[in-house]
Amino acid sequence: MQQNQVSALAGIKVLDLSRVLAGPWATQMLADFGADVVKIEPPLKGDDTRGWGPPFIQSEQSSDAAYFHTANRNKQSVAIDFSKAEGQALIHRLAAESDVLVENFKVGGLAKYGLDYASLQALNPRLIYCSITGFGQSGPLASQPGYDFMIQAMGGLMSITGEPNGAPMKVGVALADILTGLYACNAIQAALLYRHATGLGQHIDLALLDVQIASLANQAMNYLVSGESPTRLGNAHPNIVPYQSFATADGHIILAIGNDQQFARFCTLPGCESLLHRPEFSTNAQRVKYRDQLVPLLAQILLTQPSDWWLTQLEAQSVPCGPINTLAGAFANPQVQHRQMQRQFTGKNGQAQPFVGNPIQFSQSPVQYNSPPPALGQHTEFVLQQRLGLSEQDIAHLAKLGVINPQTQD
């Protein structure tokens, strides 16, 4: 796809020891920005998500789950067993010439291999070492494993997600993992700027629980200011009314009125005029206060016409609104297609491998889509030869010992 363009992170070497989603999401973002990312995987099974299917994507070299393809494009896969001394030595050498290392092992889990921050920082003082765990490197829960689902629950997100009288509900994607990956990418780039100014690397300590708490945004501040835990509101908004889904004569739409001027324009539409001059609905603060009176009135009005009629009328008045799409509908949206959010790699045999585009649009250093997610160990020989200067005999010996994937590919 895009080739030979100047990239924002060109020349930055990233050693990716992370698995599943949060860490790989961060390193894929760095790779999209042009960093050279080497993904270290266990020789026999690789990243767990290679098997998290169906569905699977069949390529010339492998058959891996679509889940794995979510977060591993633009990377090189090197299969090394670092439970063996020879594998640890290889990682040490790679870390010594890397700018960034990302890992998501349990606290202290890499120390027994000499791959913890203190050990590698002694080898490479300029190394930026990012650790992602469920609960962080310190605190009473630091030693416990953390997974997205439990973090959404412990971090309060499930308490504000779902219908008012329904059960607590998680978000439909692993949001704590994804947000942690984005925070990690931001932190790494900030650390690179700090290193540029000082020459020093550093340790980044990121916890899924911390990120989940931070990402509660206005809901967290509502609690801290009021002392009252927010409750589930379904598709409604705690601070803005009307800002929720409504049934229409033939389906559902969302109405997202964010200020009083938008509400006034809404009230010019047929059937809505009587709402305009009622003092209890005149400001957003009033509408929030009298939510229980306004919402049923709106629900009756919206039922009088089909979805397309409402969307046309609302858009004509510049009142924020939208359909509730399936993923098929979302990807078919002309705006989504114009922004090229659905993309594909084309293999040597002409087979297409679809993927979701990066949403960032740079004017000077475009996001790069150089290679699809790699087969397990696909680049082992190449990286060990090019970066570490190993000979074919060295590689054959390591493969015989089971330190590296014996089925590497050029």
CB atoms closer than 10 angstroms to residue 365: 14
- Residue 374: closest CA among 383, 361, 387: 383
CB atoms closer than 10 angstroms to residue 399: 19
Q: Return the half-sphere exposure (C-beta side, CA atoms, 13 A cut-off) of residue 93.
A: 16
Specify whether 81 is catalytic: no
The whole-angstrom separation of Cα 303 and Cα 97 is 64
The length of the chain, given as a count of residues: 410
DSSP string for 208-250 = HHHHHHHTTHHHHHHHHHH-------TT--SS-SSEEEEE-SS
The whole-angstrom separation of Cα 215 and Cα 220 is 8
Strand duo 243-247 + 202-207: pairing: unpaired
The whole-angstrom separation of Cα 281 and Cα 297 is 11
Which positions ≥6 away from 216 have C-beta within 8 Å? 155, 156, 157, 160
Region label for 27, one of left (φ > 0), alpha (ψ between -120 and 50) or beta (otherwise): alpha
Q: Where are the beta strands (DSSP E) in 99-251?
A: 100-103, 128-133, 202-207, 243-247
The whole-angstrom separation of Cα 147 and Cα 150 is 6
Residue with tokens 């650390």: 191
Options 116, 177, 205, 210, the catalytic residue: 177
The whole-angstrom separation of Cα 301 and Cα 309 is 13
End-to-end CA distance of the chain: 20
> Which positions are annotated as active-site residues?
177
